[in-house]
Chains A and B, each alone.
Chain A
Amino acid sequence: MNDAAIVLEARGITRAFPGVQALAGVDLTLRAGEVHALMGQNGAGKSTLIKVLTGVHAPDGGSIKLLGNDVAPTSPLHAQQLGISAVHQESHLLPNLSVAENICAGRYPRRAWTRGGGIDWRETNRRARELLAGLGIDLDVTQLAGGLPAALQQLATVARAVATDARVLILDEPTSSLDTDEVQALFALIRRLRDQGVSILFVTHFLDQVYDICDRITVLRNGKFVGEYPCAKLDARGLVAAMVGRELVHAGKAPAHAPAEAAQATAVLAARNISRRGQIKPMDIELRAGEVLGLAGLLGSGRTELARLLFALDDRDSGDVSVDGKPAKLDKPADALALGLGFCPEDRKHSGIVAELSVRENIVLALQARMGLTKFLRPAEQLALAEKLVAALGVKTASIETPIGQLSGGNQQKAIIARWLATHPRVLILDEPTRGIDIAAKQELMNEILALANGGTAVLFISAEIEEVVRVSDRIMVLRDRAKAGELPPGADEDAVFSMIAGGP
């Protein structure tokens, strides 16, 4: 692969936005028929680089050569015409149009002028069917794209990107919402494209996927180009070191945490037979004071859905909930709050922060919601409370009055956790609290979670990273295909979790 023809050569790309230098002299070399990983922490510049390559932003400096010719894409459409196609993280299919239309949009086959000159729908459907078949995908192209499951939508999106005779295909976090089987289906498609000579730029933060499918890796850090490495020559630790910039001491087992004795621990929150049609099948779950219950399972196994039901964000179809052994009314989040529950959602931008409000206001929000309309915390009290928590959790912010939207992802996450700590919850549900956060901040958060449990709070910890779950949890509950697969006692290791997920004893 070393001597394969170079397809894309970007040199010295720089781009600044008000207040931040997003890219400072980045190089990228893509060869024909290779899968090239683009890696870096949050804020490293990956998204910006992709936007430059696809013409969404013009670079302030640097050059891009495609097959030896200088190019300067001015828009996604122009980039497509040049041969650079992208499947963005946020790109979805248009749910109200058919699959065929989604694939051919902007490039419709036309009827001859003599027959009206309009769009030839029969030909459109035929082309779409042919393209999908050539990629090994079999589905009804006339159905509305909105009716497809997420994984098939992803495959169709890739098909569309490829339909333009792309030489370079950019995939930005394509596997975030796919389960293992679906990821392998996508990888099969990627391999097929690679064999056809397409250069694929693959952005992901799943290390194992990088080593599964990629040939080379380019690492960015803080907008700067760190290096380009063949996968065979850089192991996982070296990769992380390049991304983070320092040798990470492997954290090992978590600091001392005394799990409550299983027999004596009281069930603070217990749900029997809880279910919601289409989301999770009936299952039982028990959260005990001072204990961290890890919830493990593959994407789509129902972890977030269960968490949402426990916090009454969604209506449950069946199941009784009891608190301290007594039946409890739990129909909406305000009820959950009154019972002493707290919930850090998976998607903090969508369901967590109110970007315009200040850090202080975001932190006191849940506590104030529980206290009600009339018992209003005086501004001085709010300030004192917020400042105390900001200091305790190490939230980096210019001022307590800064709009929370201006903080980095990790600090926003800490502020949301601070919000729930302010309510002194008896039960705290954390759904993917470490997602999208750099390694240093992750460590701090994990320690904070353990401190919480030590203080007597019952914690439900959900994470896609099994290693994290094992490190911080006492008991582990495993979900498989939206049903409870089982529970593992304290001390279980990753292999045990994997087995239970896979369907072992």
Chain B
Amino acid sequence: MSRRLLPLCITVLLFIGMAAFGAIRYDGFLSPQVFLNLLIDNAFLCVVAVGMTFVILSGGIDLSVGAVIALTTMISASLLDAGWNPFAAMAVVLLFGAGFGALQGFLIQRFDLAPFIVTLAGMFLARGCCYLISTESIPINDPTYAAIAQARIPVGFGSSLTIGAVIALAVVLAAMRIAHATEFGRTVYAIGGGESSARLMGLSVSRTKVGVYLLSGFCAALGGVVMTFYMLSGYSLHAVGLELDAIAAVVIGGTLLAGGVGYVAGTLFGVLILGIIQTLIAFDGTLSSWWTKIVVGVLLLLFCLLQRLFEGRTRKAA
């Protein structure tokens, strides 16, 4: 039992270690708001990474999420500009995201296409549609959005969360339940463990494969909605490269890229770790922000090597 949780433990320990390092080195690091900001500033990444977790657990990958976020912001901004009701606009983009993901999932499953290429094309398509809508940034002036963006939910100790952060937490909790207690979630793990075996066992593999990409598309759209709260604009260049951050968060969170092994909770900590790297660099003040990328790369390397060791050891034990 404990061997399964080992990668997750390592991730959590790493986070605690980094937090401790920050607390020792910088004044004011250990304030509650600093930690809550980790979630607030990365709420949209968190939502997207949760969707990505399911895709990776099933052994696939989704490169289109960054572009879908951008497209979501563009569609939202355009609709609001045209006078749409804000909640109707949100409903439309969420449906759109789910549909976009489902379409990719259908192509992957029905025609046995490589997820890498299908979602790559999806990324081109979504990003291209963004440019078609507008190459300029579209500001969002809707009062409801502004109100949501400014709302603060107090959580004690003089600190507060944004609605976006609350959404992110809700998504994580819902995803944990789906992964652990629903047939869909268990089938995702099964597919990651061995698709042909799962099929022969009679599990509904085809439907689940499509469902996984639908979920990822939905999470990308939801992440886009959260981003519109954060940025209050629609822009084609939003979230460029975000899919890589999402993948990094999932891997650092302990999920194997080969599929079948990992926890949603790990992804949450992966996102927090990405956040804390940026925070540490910001607190330092002397390091340029390029260091973030380098540190993330190094962490990815370490975690992937660790995963290799882990795989090697379980194989020897069997």
Interface residues of A (CB under 8 A from B): 75-77, 80, 86, 88, 90-97, 101-102, 105-106, 108, 116, 118-119, 142, 144, 146-149, 160, 278
Contacts and interface: CB of A to CB of B under 8 A. Distances in A.
Contact of A76 (B1, B192, B200, B260): B200
Interface in B174-226: 177, 180-183, 186-187, 189-190, 192-194, 196-204
Interface stretch (B103-111, B274-282, B297-305, B310-318): B310-318
Instruction: Name which of A75, A91, A142 has the most chain B CB atoms within 10 A of its CB.
Output: A91
Contacts of B261: 96
Instruction: Name which of A97, A102, A149 has the most chain B CB atoms within 10 A of its CB.
Output: A97
Contacts of A149: 318
Given A119-B181, A119-B182, A119-B183, A92 B201 contact: no
Given A88-B200, A142-B1, A118 B177 contact: yes
A160 to B, nearest CB: 7
A90 to B, nearest CB: 7
A92 B189 contact: no
B198 to A, nearest CB: 7
Contact of A92 (B1, B4, B197): B197
Contact of B186 (A77, A88, A105, A144): A105
B190 A94 contact: yes
B15 to A, nearest CB: 24
Nearest to A80: B202
A259 B189 CA distance: 57
A198 to B, nearest CB: 18
A118 B194 contact: no
Contact of A95 (B182, B187, B194, B203): B194
Nearest to A278: B316
Given A105-B190, A106-B183, A91 B200 contact: yes
Query: What 9 pairs between A and B have smallest CB-CB spacing?
Result: A118-B181, A94-B193, A77-B202, A96-B260, A96-B193, A76-B202, A91-B200, A119-B181, A106-B203
A146 B315 CA distance: 8
A348 B199 CA distance: 25
A147 B317 contact: yes
A142 B2 CA distance: 12
B262 to A, nearest CB: 9
Contacts of B199: 76
25 contacts: A75-B202, A76-B199, A76-B200, A76-B202, A80-B202, A90-B196, A90-B200, A91-B201, A92-B197, A94-B194, A94-B197, A94-B260, A95-B194, A96-B192, A96-B193, A105-B190, A106-B183, A106-B202, A108-B183, A118-B177, A118-B182, A119-B181, A147-B318, A148-B318, A278-B316
A116 B194 CA distance: 29
Contacts of A86: 200
Contacts of B187: 105-106
Nearest to B195: A94
A77 B204 contact: yes
Contacts of A96: 189, 192-193, 260-261
A142 B196 CA distance: 23
A144 B314 CA distance: 11
A146 B197 contact: no
A160 B190 contact: no
B314 A105 contact: no
B256 to A, nearest CB: 9
A97 B189 CA distance: 8
B106 to A, nearest CB: 18
Contacts of A105: 186-187, 190, 198, 201, 203
Contacts of B4: 144
Contacts of A97: 186, 189-190, 193
A116 B193 contact: no
Contacts of B204: 77, 106
A144 B5 CA distance: 12
Interface string B260-284: 1100000000000000000000000
Nearest to B181: A118
Nearest to A88: B200
Nearest to B177: A118
Contacts of A102: 201
A413 to B, nearest CB: 25
A146 B314 CA distance: 9
Contacts of A95: 193-194, 260
A146 B183 CA distance: 21
A243 B183 CA distance: 45
A91 to B, nearest CB: 5
Contacts of A77: 202-204
Instruction: Name which of B4, B194, B204 has the most chain A CB atoms within 10 A of its CB.
Output: B194
A93 B198 CA distance: 8
A137 B5 CA distance: 27
B181 A93 contact: no
B318 A91 contact: no
A160 B180 CA distance: 21
Contacts of B1: 142
A103 B199 CA distance: 14
A77 B187 CA distance: 14
A77 B318 CA distance: 30
Contacts of B192: 96
A148 B187 CA distance: 21
A83 to B, nearest CB: 13
A77 B202 CA distance: 4
A119 B190 CA distance: 15
Contacts of B189: 94, 96-97
Nearest to A77: B202
Interface string B225-263: 000000000000000000000000000000000001100
Contacts of B316: 278
Interface string B78-119: 000000000000000000000000000000000000000000
B181 A147 contact: no
A148 B314 CA distance: 11
